[in-house]
Amino acid sequence: MSLHRSVPRGIQFLVRTACLFIAYCNLLCCDPAIQTAFAQQQNVLVQQKTVQTAKPLRIATFNSAMNRKKAGELAEDLAQGDSQAKKIAEIIEKVSPDILLLNELDYDQDTAKRFLDQFLNAPADTQATSNTANQPPWKYFYAGPVNTGVDSQLDLDANGKLHEPNDAWGFGTFPGQYGMAVFSRYPIDSSAIRTFQLFRWSDMPNALIPNADGKPYYPEAIWKELRLSSKSHWDIPIEVDGHTVHILASHPTPPVFDGPEDRNGCRNHDEIRLLLDYVSGSPAADYLVDDQLRRGGLKEDSYFAILGDLNADPIDGDGQPDAIRKLIDHPRVAKYEIPESTGAAEASSLSRGANLQHKGNPAHDTGDFNDKNPGNLRIDFVLPSANFKVIAQGVFWPSSTESKEDHELVKASDHRLVWVDVSW
């Protein structure tokens, strides 16, 4: 019996289509070349989908101002559920970075771990915010010794007295004061961490030597021993989605609290210059020897992010802006719009004072300081490497009209959290 005569045309079409599909599948299964091409095409589609849906990496820095006057005092406060720490953690929760540097977190054996366990991984609300709902917990951190409060046994301020806070390698009343810590949702490669706590200032070629009345401020014997970093300079490698991101963390000294010799201004400049040379790599960084006796800087193709309260405004303030300008303009540093906030602009207009003399955009400020001097400044930075793509950036500093609750929350510190979103 003829198929054409007994079956309607619509059914005939469906049968033919099914037969062709079966024949195509048989061909696909039997021909290795077709199988390979098909697999390659599917792989391309998967890769494209992965790129399009990949979550940006949010990197942040925050001077938390969680320093105390006595050793162990911060640890005791945290154990009792410190109110300032709760506010700092709430700010971090709202921004929800993946990697975070906290400046001015006093260092000892327990403080960073306690802050991570008791505050970072214990949200202020029982209900997670939309930012943190799908975030992995904070699991990794690095906190190490710093120069602040470590007695040099030398009269660094030339006042005829020893063992004072100004005689420490970095100003401080006890070892670890004004410390710092890096927190991460991704694994830290502990074996590859580099620190530059012990690096001598005099080992930097063409260092800015403080001068008073045309003569070196420091006697030669002191100059040869003086450490450059007021806290420390860290390179913390973090493994993210098969890539290594070098977190370059530091907290240079404020360029004030000195005399006409400008010893702190010179030191701030050269602490930032260390970062500049480090990301430049060889030959600029060949003089650098870390505390593990490894020499040199970053490799040319490295992913990195420079984080910290660098205590240097590129336009305003009392520092020597040359180093921070060069760092921002370095060809290996990504170029993107300066993070800003409505709260910074509002604060500048309300406080006035020194801000009236500033030339920089007040919306770019990251710190709310004394109205008479220095005024509000942009001194906290997240500077990703140029091989990243910068997607977004910001400063957590809402105005009073934008959010009264968050506007009060930020008063937990005189600095504001700065964040940048990047992708590969």
Question: For residues 119 and 74, is the Cβ–Cβ distance under 8 A?
Answer: no
| Same domain, yes or no: 25 and 88 | no
| Same domain, yes or no: 93 and 136 | yes
The model's pLDDT over 57-93, given as tens digits with 9 standing for 90+, comes to 999 999 999 999 999 999 999 999 999 999 999 999 9
Taking the C-alpha atoms of residue 147 and residue 198, their distance in angstroms, rounded to an integer, is 8
Number of domains composing the chain: 2
Query: In this structure, is residue 158 part of a structural domain?
Result: yes
Question: What's the confidence (pLDDT) of residue 125?
Answer: 54
Query: In this structure, is residue 40 part of a structural domain?
Result: yes
| Same domain, yes or no: 365 and 225 | yes
The model's pLDDT over 325-374, given as tens digits with 9 standing for 90+, comes to 999 999 999 999 999 999 999 999 998 899 999 999 999 999 999 999 99
| Same domain, yes or no: 10 and 68 | no
- Which residue has tokens 């039997």? 30
User: Residue 142: how many CB atoms within 10 A of its CB?
Assistant: 20
Query: In this structure, is residue 51 part of a structural domain?
Result: no
Torsions phi, psi of 324, nearest 5?
A: -70, -35
Question: For residues 360 and 315, is the Cβ–Cβ distance under 8 A?
Answer: yes
| Same domain, yes or no: 392 and 260 | yes
Q: Give the chain's count of helices (H) and strands (E).
A: 11, 13
Taking the C-alpha atoms of residue 194 and residue 178, their distance in angstroms, rounded to an integer, is 20
Query: In this structure, is residue 202 part of a structural domain?
Result: yes
DSSP of 94-161: HH--SEEEEEEE--SSSHHHHHIIIIITS-SSSSPPTTTTTPPPP-EEE----SBT-B-SS-TT-SS-
| Same domain, yes or no: 85 and 10 | no
Of 179, 182, 208, 37, nearest to 106 (Cα)?
179
Write out residues in the chain with pLDDT < 50, as ranges. 1-8, 10-11, 13-15, 24-25, 27-29, 34, 37-39, 44-53, 126-128
Please state whether the peptide bond connecting residue 165 to the residue before it is cis, i.e. omega within 30 degrees of 0. Answer: no
- The CATH number of whichever domain residue 402 belongs to comes to 3.60.10.10
| Same domain, yes or no: 236 and 263 | yes
Domain of 123 in residue numbering reads as 56-423
| Same domain, yes or no: 263 and 357 | yes
Question: What's the confidence (pLDDT) of residue 47?
Answer: 45
| Same domain, yes or no: 104 and 127 | yes
| Same domain, yes or no: 169 and 276 | yes
| Same domain, yes or no: 368 and 266 | yes
β-bridge pairing 303-309 and 243-249: parallel
- Name, in order, each residue with C-beta under 8 angstroms of 40's C-beta and a sequence gap of 6 or more: none
| Same domain, yes or no: 309 and 400 | yes
